[in-house]
Structure 1
């Protein structure tokens, strides 16, 4: 039986780990025409590309007077110039030029954050750079695989990132928030299975011999014109720390073997989600809908992107209202239902990461005091 104790799942506990990979931007947002200003996990960053195309993320505050480097301009092959007094820094954050003096203060540096470009995203590591292992970037291979097609957008969420994770780990809310598109009674009536490791949580739900909701009926008819009849529907939600969720979704003609692995008589999509905390009250939500059918149809890609955008707009409204209620009721603890089992495990894994970092910081402080 799953332990649903409230540990780690209170309205107050909205912290985020720093030693983790977060998406800072779509790859097409980072270039040389302008410097991108983004705050990820409380760290303001100035993000740009070098002349050879490599993405760079520097602390968005000049060493001299903390002027935002994102307001400056790019210099040379990889440098950036402060807009206030003209100090120049290279992509490693080292000052290379100071105005009106030849000697450069050796302490003149700004932080340079580890960056990896993968799966159409630019990922940054806001914590200890010595721990930045690219192999820890969550698997989102559908984003750039030739066997999948699709697109997505970014939502500026006026809510804590863990509320977005809660929302995605329990899709029974579709029955009530998205009743006109993907919601149906069978969502809350069906059984689900929750499994987890030390870095992942998976929630699996199958609904057999049901009517396809409007969104999925349209997709079935895109692939199988004139489709009528019952379907088997699946939702397999896969979370990976600290904030990435892939949702394997779809429907297939009922009784054609989808639960056993044959999805040929259906349509399959992946809702790709990765959420980057800005601070404890706001987040950047990067999402895409990828499909493995009708790959050459830009029309379907656009229709799906706009359709999912409408669905997520309903989520955004609810999350904003929830955040406001949390702030208005600071002493209220979250209560948990059976449907919260996946989200509870997500919160546990995040809390373990946060507590491990706090312990390391405390240990370092003790060592420093002894020295």
Structure 2
């Protein structure tokens, strides 16, 4: 159903403080905690004594202590101690490869020996002072592939997001889809159009006129297992569109990390990275609120779509040219799943 020998975003760094965090990923319930040396650990959320969730316990030094009877677990999954008991012969529980990088906690839910930190995506904007980032998290009841479909075909913006980023010119501009190795790219360019409300606000945020014709672009990039980065923006018309100089455009990268919880639910980490006015925290908050409202508009549609599909598993869905990005992304996922099961 979903690849496991890969890195997923489990949570953001600021979600884990002094308390452990429980999160189900790829049908595996995992507890995350930060030890005294600030290192992140990930264990199966199961106390080997009586099966209580370790996430209901507390952190003591480098150990996670069960809140039921006080069994202390090490970050490697081994039992350490328990008041008045001999427990060091207990079998270990599962410990997961986990890495903190770029403000996210990355988890490898598959075979630990195959985990390669070099395979974590490089987010150039995350450590660059010339960029600003703001984002959030939604818990959505849908198959992770439905969200990939949604992000790789932005035609729906005309209808679902009519009051924010949608406009008729989107469906009038045919998308182009290509595949480069395991990356799927779907792009759409619109010329000499009016900017929709969200992008008018972005133009103003970059001290640009918002009442003039613009060129607009959307370049969606899928990479396994379920990451989608979308280059978006508008530039004053006639200055090169996507390639326009920075002082003539407002552009950003929409960041989408889709982490399966179960077959029909996901953790959706969304955000926007921009390279204009990076020190303007008020602008970052404004964009975050606007983007959060846009993504919230997708929730009802995706969850209702999932209910329909679950209730009608025998129905065959139509495939159109606008579905090219999602279809190709699914083929890559299917190939990975076949390789993992062989």
Q: TM-score range by the shorter chain?
A: over 0.9
Counterparts of 1:157 and 1:227 in 2: how far apart (Å)? 34
> What's the counterpart of residue 58 of structure 1?
43
Q: Are the equivalent residues in 2 in contact too, given 1:45–1:58 (CA < 8 A)?
A: yes
- 1:210 is displaced (CA, Å) by 1.0
The answer on 1:24 being equivalent to 2:10 is yes
Q: TM-score, normalised by structure 2?
A: 0.96
Counterparts of 2:173 and 2:244 in 1: how far apart (Å)? 19
> What's the counterpart of residue 176 of structure 1?
159
Task: Please list, as runs of the form range in 1=range in 2, the aligned pairs for 1:328-347 lying within 5 A after superposition.
Answer: 328-347=311-330
Counterparts of 1:351 and 1:308 in 2: how far apart (Å)? 31
Distance 1:330 1:48, change over 3 A: same
Counterparts of 1:174 and 1:298 in 2: how far apart (Å)? 27
CA displacement, residues 138-196 of structure 1 (integer Å, 9 cap, x when unaligned)? 23332342111131110010111111111000001001100111111111111222121
Gaps of 5+ in 2: none
Q: Are the equivalent residues in 2 in contact too, given 1:268–1:291 (CA < 8 A)?
A: yes
Aligned with 2:80 (options 93, 96, 99): 96
Q: Are the equivalent residues in 2 in contact too, given 1:140–1:246 (CA < 8 A)?
A: no
Q: Which runs of 4+ in 1 moved over 4 A?
A: none
- Between 1:142-151 and 1:108-117, the stretch displaced more is 142-151
Task: Please list, as runs of the form range in 1=range in 2, the aligned pairs for 1:1-371 lying within 5 A after superposition.
Answer: 15-32=1-18, 34-76=19-61, 78-102=62-86, 104-105=88-89, 107-260=90-243, 262-359=245-342
Counterparts of 1:210 and 1:309 in 2: how far apart (Å)? 25
Q: How many equivalent residue pairs?
A: 342
RMSD of aligned Cα (Å)? 1.5
Distance 1:166 1:236, change over 3 A: same
Q: Are the equivalent residues in 2 in contact too, given 1:138–1:244 (CA < 8 A)?
A: no
- 1:261 is displaced (CA, Å) by 5.4
- 1:87 is displaced (CA, Å) by 1.9
SS in 1 for 2:296: helix
